[in-house]
């Protein structure tokens, strides 16, 4: 099957310093994304075009849906369960209290309804301080893998197999786990070259192709399950950070970008950096899951 994609369209000129955490919530007809550095959650209802920006008191890497207005936020040193309607905190789960300079980065819900997320050194020093975690349905935290510079992804092939990235080492791993959240196999799925930028957030479509955002590479590339590149989408923004399928027919891709670290000349060249984009495609995504407690 040939993948067809429309021209990227800006749907929110959000000027995100570090846009991330794209999340489609079908029951809300809404797309969510965050700006890590500005500590903001953006929400756009695609049916009514209603927008909302929610300010948080910590840097936020992602949000995941539980039910109604209840979400899990991945914050600096903490997972926080909140009601986004009234901003009430329901529960706080501390993460890596022994590493105050770390923060949570990317996170996603797997087909079983568990939350997978990673941490990283917030100063982005050249140290492998990041780890990969899983939060199970009983709210137990499992440390699954260690020694990452910058954790990104994850993207789920099925409940036992997923892809997970170390952006700084430009490597995407394929990981197989057992029922006890232990890794039984870890292989390199892809390694980016210098000109590609760094692999950032990603998503998997219903045909098991993986859509990978290129940080510093101004594009999204699509690879089949064997790691062969089958499609590429150029974007008028330099740092592409995260993408997810959504929309009323689940055949649209929503894309966050970042202005972080860009020079004036780069901003001139990539004028729409920091914007939030939408692309239409002939492929559908996998239905987004909510966290199961």
Binding-site members for a divalent metal cation are: 20, 152, 200
Give me the chain's average pLDDT, please: 97
Express each pLDDT in 80-98 by its tens digit: 999 999 999 999 999 999 9
pTM given for the model: 0.97
**Residue 193 or 293, more confident:** 193
* Cα 286 to Cα 284: distance, rounded to the nearest angstrom: 7
DSSP string, 182-224: -EEEEEEEEE--GGG-EEEEEEEBTTS-EEEEEETTTEEEEE-
Of 75, 15, 38, 26, nearest in space to 256 by CA: 15
Binding-site members for substrate are: 103, 105
**Per the residue annotation, which of 110, 121, 166, 200 is the catalytic one?**
200
What DSSP element (H or E) covers 267? helix 264-269
34 has pLDDT over 90: yes
Express each pLDDT in 254-272 by its tens digit: 999 999 999 999 999 999 9
Binding-site members are: 20, 103, 105, 152, 200
288 has pLDDT over 90: no
Q: What pLDDT, on a 0 to 100 scale, did the predictor assign at position 69?
A: 98
- CA distances in angstroms from 184 to 50, 109, 142, 174, 262, listed in the order given: 45, 20, 15, 11, 40
Whether 200 is a known active-site residue: answer yes
User: Where residue 1 falls among pLDDT bands split at 50, 70, 90?
Assistant: confident
By CB atoms closer than 10 A (0-12, 13-18, 19+), residue 45 is middle
Are the C-beta atoms of 149 and 126 separated by less than 8 Å?
Answer: yes
All domains in the chain, ordered by first residue: 9-280 (2.120.10.30)
């Amino acid at each position: 099957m040939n993948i067809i994609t429309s021209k990227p369209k800006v749907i929110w000129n959000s000027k995100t310093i570090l846009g991330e955490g794209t999340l489609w919530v079908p029951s809300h007809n809404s797309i969510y994304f965050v700006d890590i550095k500005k500590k903001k959650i953006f929400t756009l209802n695609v049916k009514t075009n209603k927008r909302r920006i929610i300010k948080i008191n910590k840097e936020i890497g992602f949000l995941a849906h539980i039910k109604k207005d209840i979400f899990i936020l991945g914050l600096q040193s903490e997972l926080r369960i909140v009601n986004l309607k009234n901003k009430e905190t329901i529960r706080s789960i501390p993460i890596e209290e022994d590493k105050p300079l770390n923060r949570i980065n990317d996170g996603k819900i797997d087909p079983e309804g568990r939350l997978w997320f990673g941490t990283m050194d917030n100063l982005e020093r050249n140290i492998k301080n990041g780890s990969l975690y899983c939060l199970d349905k009983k709210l137990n935290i499992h440390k699954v893998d260690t020694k990452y510079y910058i954790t990104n992804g994850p993207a789920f092939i099925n409940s036992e197999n997923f892809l997970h990235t170390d952006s700084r080492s430009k490597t995407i791993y394929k990981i197989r786990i057992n029922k006890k959240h232990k890794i039984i196999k870890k292989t390199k799925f892809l390694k980016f070259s210098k000109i590609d930028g760094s692999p950032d957030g990603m998503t998997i479509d219903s045909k098991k192709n993986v859509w990978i955002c290129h940080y510093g590479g101004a594009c999204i590339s699509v690879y089949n399950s064997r790691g062969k590149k089958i499609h590429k989408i150029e974007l008028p923004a330099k740092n592409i950070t995260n993408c997810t399928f959504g929309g009323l027919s689940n055949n649209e891709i929503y894309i966050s970008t970042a202005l972080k670290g860009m020079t004036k000349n780069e901003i001139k060249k990539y004028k729409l950096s920091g914007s939030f984009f939408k692309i239409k495609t002939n492929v559908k995504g996998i239905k987004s899951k909510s966290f199961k407690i």
